[in-house]
Structure 1
Amino acid sequence: MSRMNVKIISVLASVGIALAGCGSTATKEAEKPAVNAAKQEHTVERFYFTANEGGTISKVSATDNKVAATIKADGVVHNIQLSPDGKVVAATLIPETGHSHGGHEEKTPGKVVFFDAFTNQLLKTVEVGNHPAHVVYSEDGKYVLATNNEDNTVSVINAATYDLVKTVPTGKGPHGFRISADSKFAYIANMGEDTVSAINLETFKEERIKTGNTPVTTGITRDGKTLAVTLFAESSLAIVNVETKEIVKVKVGNGPAQVYIGPDDKFAYVANQGTEESPSNSLSIVDLETKKVVEEIETGNGAHGVTVSSDGKFAYVTNMFDNTVSVIDLESKHVNTIDVGEIPNGITIMD
């Protein structure tokens, strides 16, 4: 499949964006070998997965950072996430082209595809709206949500049955999002306007929060009190007090795309993409308490997707314009560069 710039929403073209979380001591000692043996027997290899807009998913070993498998898809794979139990990987799939009818191209609905994370077997395909962008599981494992850029909606899917439960209106151009740790709210960045849609996953009612110019993705702390939003056109991270709606904007690299809040809720990790004509190549680490950038780490060109391991030791960044992933040791700041599929976008890791 030839390299292509994917149209996500009409606003992207106007701003030039390629976008593209008992017994006794003696008994205990006697049980130790058995326990250790059991742990060894049930140890499974960990992987991380990249959504490649060139039409594949790269499955990479988290142990040696080698590509273990390349899963082909019929269309553009934009975003990806593992289920809370780590057994299923979900990805948004945009059909390569629509069908011509009477001189006009008909829109072809997008899909969310589900694969077994270990065997790579396709489990289910669910039709959603036009140009699906990001896909996220609620932490309680009840729902999978996918934003539909061109429909201004989010699709809510039953994670157990794969049934489409509801389609909820959002702001214009919904894109990246996260769901709160208590699984009650989804915070969706609306790229076509300066808002985030906060959707109650019990009532499916929406409230909009003003943030800034061209919000791309969000992050939410585990206590649900602090929202982080990347503002592409402002090259800033908006830090929002969810209760008061007070906003502090922190300057990061040029054209920030995704943000991921680390496991201790202390830092926000921002991938700075820029544009294909003028790419950025850095990861900004923002202290959410002081609201300052504390570290800037060089990545590949077009840094877009970002995730952090559950122990907080490594950050993983997709580099869209280099077809690579930067694996960053957050203690030593050493960066390991891994070749993956064409135009890697979203990324997710087993923990």
Structure 2
Amino acid sequence: MLASAAVALGGASALAAPLAYVPNQRSGSISVIDTGKDEVVRTLNAQGRFGKRLQQVALDPSGKTLFVIDAAHNQLVALDIASDTVRSSVPIEEDAEGVTVSPDGRSLAVCVEGSQHILLVDAATLKVRADVPTRGRNPEHCVFSPDGKWLLTSNEASSDLDLIDVAAARSVALIKTSGHPRGMAFVPGTQRLYVAQETANAVDVIDLAARSKVASIATGLRTAGLTASPDGTYVYASNGGAGTISVIDVAKGASIAEIKVGERPWNPALTPDGRKLYVANGRSNSVSVIDTATRTRLKDIAVGEMPWGVIIAK
């Protein structure tokens, strides 16, 4: 009874396993996975209002609202999870892809890849507070620093990161990377940012204080997505060309294992306890579940067409 009630309320109950949200780009839907059962328990589509080109989604800290890039309609949508209805929306330009929530939950950042800028948006009202041009080209992913003072963008076409001062709403530096940066993740409790490098087949390590790359770790073919373990021990990198997950030991600064998953794995996520890793397989239309202790693939869960990634409440 408690578990089913938690599903109906969007996963609010502390007794229930966390829910994973998977945007399916070509299905215009979001698959909801119960990470206790490892099965799809709901499918969200804004009651049919989403277009057939969903991009990244972000989850507000309360777990009640999903922020969705509906690229077919060029809009950012705040979706009420419990009712599967649009709470509000705001027009955005073409080719927006990334959206992320600030650590305090008050702000959103939207990467508008095609026109080289970032929108800073009030999460409560969806009003655009600032429009920030990037120095680099084609910003795809964006991530806030743990203290919320900085926003970093991965600029695919110029192989660098913009460092944006959030309060001033301007880019203050460019940080060079190894080649075609994509997904990013901060290691908890540090100022170290790990950045997937798709053409370099590597993960770069960025020292935020020094504003520079301090290491590059070899991974698999066409590395695309990243997530860091809650204890800061490991970073998991999805290799789109190899169909694998690289396990990076942070202390050793090296990949120590590679786990086979589906075709074209993209953006992974961990459960809050770090025990299970979920990765969207874009060409397999599935999500692979990995036991992080044994580094084994437990199951593949069928989802919609071309899943973009996985988001799990922390």
Instruction: State the TM-score, normalizing by the size of structure 2.
Output: 0.76
Paired position in structure 1 for 2:245: 237
1:295 aligned partner, one-letter code: K
Q: Aligned to 2:100, which of 81, 90, 97?
A: 81
SS of residue in 2 equivalent to 1:112: strand
CA distance in 1, matches of 2:189, 2:147: 8
2:121 match: secondary structure: strand
2:223 corresponds to 1:215: yes
- Whose Rg is larger? 1
Report the CA distance between 1:222 and its aligned residue: 2.4
Mapped to 2, the partners of 1:182 and 1:52 lie a distance apart of 33
Q: In the aligned structure 2, how far is the partner of 1:51 from the partner of 1:69?
A: 13
Q: 2:141 is matched with which residue? A: 134
> What displacement does 1:124 show?
0.5
- What TM-score do you get using the length of structure 1 for normalisation? 0.68
Letter in 1 for 2:104: D
Give 2:219's aligned amino acid: T
- The 3-state SS of whatever aligns with 1:166 is strand
1:342 is aligned to none
2:282 matches 1:273: yes
**Structure 2 gap ranges (5+):** 1-24, 27-54
- Picking from 42, 47, 64, the partner of 2:83 is 64
2: CA distance, partners of 1:281 / 1:269: 13
Please state whether the residue corresponding to 2:67 is helix, strand or coil.
Answer: strand
Matches within 5 A, 1:72-111: 72-95=91-114, 110-111=116-117
The answer to whether the 8 Å contact 1:112/1:126 transfers is yes
- Give the conservation status (yes or no) of the 8 Å contact 1:140–1:182: no
| Residue equivalent to 1:117 | 123
Gaps of 5+ in 1: 5-18, 22-43, 96-108, 275-279, 311-351
* Partner deviation per Cα, 1:64-107 (whole Å, 9 max, x = no partner): 23222232112211111011111111110023xxxxxxxxxxxx
Q: 1:256 aligns with which of 265, 270, 275?
A: 265
Report the counterpart of residue 173 of structure 1 in structure 2.
180
Q: In 2, Cα distance between the equivalents of 1:228 and 1:111?
A: 28
- Taking only aligned residues, the RMSD between alpha carbons, in angstroms, comes to 2.1
Number of equivalenced pairs: 254
User: What secondary structure, in the 3-state scheme, does the structure 2 residue paired with 1:133 have?
Assistant: strand
Partner of 1:134, secondary structure, is strand
Find the residue that maps to 2:167 and give its secondary structure: coil
Kept in 2, the 8 Å contact 1:239–1:288? The answer is no
Q: Provide the C-alpha distance between the structure 2 equivalents of 1:53 and 1:176, rounded to a whole number of angstroms.
A: 19
Shift of 1:148: 0.6
CA distance in 2, matches of 1:122, 1:258: 26
Percent of counterpart pairs with the same letter? 23
Report whether the alignment pairs 1:299 with 2:303.
yes
How far, CA to CA, are the matches of 2:194 and 2:145 in structure 1? 12
